[in-house]
């Protein structure tokens, strides 16, 4: 039986969002224009809003932004052709949601801390300050390498501690590439919906523990974007 989620379709035309059922699951769609949708803020928010609506009552397997089919028959052909794979993924993702966690630090502050903690760095800085010969160049190169190595070691230690603290509250995690030189962690966590509060509490505890050293951007819940990879492979049903 089809389900109507209201006039919240992408594109700003007020297209209704509804389901196209196939056996025990369904695709959530709208009768949008047959165009390539740009990932503007307005379009992205519309996409997210529909996901949020559906997630309230159902397990969602997210499709790529801007996926467009020509007809409902094409949608049903896709559901039929990927039925076994979708059933398997839906079973694995049932009752599970995703949270995002980005962790940043003040790199300059951390460098100052490292310089104060490291005898080798202090020695190299003193050598550079008191030496005007060509060896100063090599000392500066060595100082840069030592500082970068110490930064990486400290970042790895923080990230390892955070993952360990969240290990029991999450089913799985995915590490993504940090963005910029201030971000040391860009991760996604798959969490059982019933354990959302436990995960939230763990995030709060970690944020308090590092409140003067790290800043946290915690987002979600989301559909499991980082844990589901659905490749569009349309296969017409055999007649």
Q: Residue 208's domain is classified under what CATH number?
A: 3.30.70.100
- Burial of 239 (C-beta count, 10 Å sphere; 0-12/13-18/19+): exposed
In a domain, 22, yes or no: yes
Q: Both 42 and 54 in a single domain? A: yes
> Both 104 and 210 in a single domain?
yes
Averaged pLDDT of the chain? 85
Determine the 3-state secondary structure of 97 from DSSP: strand
- For 4, 134, 135, 148, the CA distances from 143, given in Å and listed in that order, are 63, 15, 12, 9
Question: What is this structure's pTM?
Answer: 0.79
How far apart CA 104 and CA 117 sit, in angstroms, is 21
Q: What is the pLDDT, as a whole number, of residue 105?
A: 92
Q: Give the chain's end-to-end CA distance (angstroms, integer).
A: 24
Q: How does residue 101 score in pLDDT terms, banded at 50, 70 and 90?
A: very high
Query: In this structure, what DSSP letter does residue 168 have?
Result: T
User: Are 12 and 64 contained in the same domain?
Assistant: yes
236: CB partners within 8 A, 6+ apart: 77, 81
236 domain-assigned: no
Which SS3 state, helix, strand or coil, does residue 232 take?
A: coil
The parent domain of residue 104 ranges over 98-108+144-222
Residues 168 and 209 in one domain: yes
Question: Two tokens at 57?
Answer: 């009552």
């Amino acid at each position: 039986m089809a389900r109507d989620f209201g006039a919240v379709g992408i594109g700003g035309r007020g297209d209704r969002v509804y389901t196209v059922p196939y056996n025990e699951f369904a695709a959530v769609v709208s009768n949008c224009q047959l165009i390539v949708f740009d990932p503007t803020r307005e379009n992205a928010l519309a996409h997210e809003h529909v996901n949020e609506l559906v997630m309230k009552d159902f397990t969602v397997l997210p499709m790529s932004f801007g996926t467009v089919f020509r007809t409902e028959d094409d949608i049903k052909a896709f559901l039929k052709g990927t039925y076994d794979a979708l059933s398997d993924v839906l079973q694995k993702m049932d009752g599970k949601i995703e949270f995002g966690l980005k962790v940043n630090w003040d790199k300059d502050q951390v460098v100052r801390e490292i310089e104060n903690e490291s005898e080798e760095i202090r020695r190299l800085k003193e050598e550079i300050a008191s030496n005007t010969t060509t060896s100063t160049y090599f000392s500066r190169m060595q100082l840069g390498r030592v500082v970068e190595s110490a930064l990486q070691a400290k970042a790895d230690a923080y990230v390892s501690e955070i993952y360990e603290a969240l290990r029991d509250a999450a089913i799985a995690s995915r590490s993504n590439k940090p963005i910029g030189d201030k971000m040391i962690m860009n991760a996604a966590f798959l969490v059982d919906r019933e354990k959302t509060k436990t995960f939230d509490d763990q995030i709060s505890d970690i944020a308090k523990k590092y409140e003067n050293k790290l800043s946290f951007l915690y987002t979600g819940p989301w559909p499991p974007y980082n844990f589901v990879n659905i490749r569009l492979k349309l296969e017409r049903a055999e007649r």
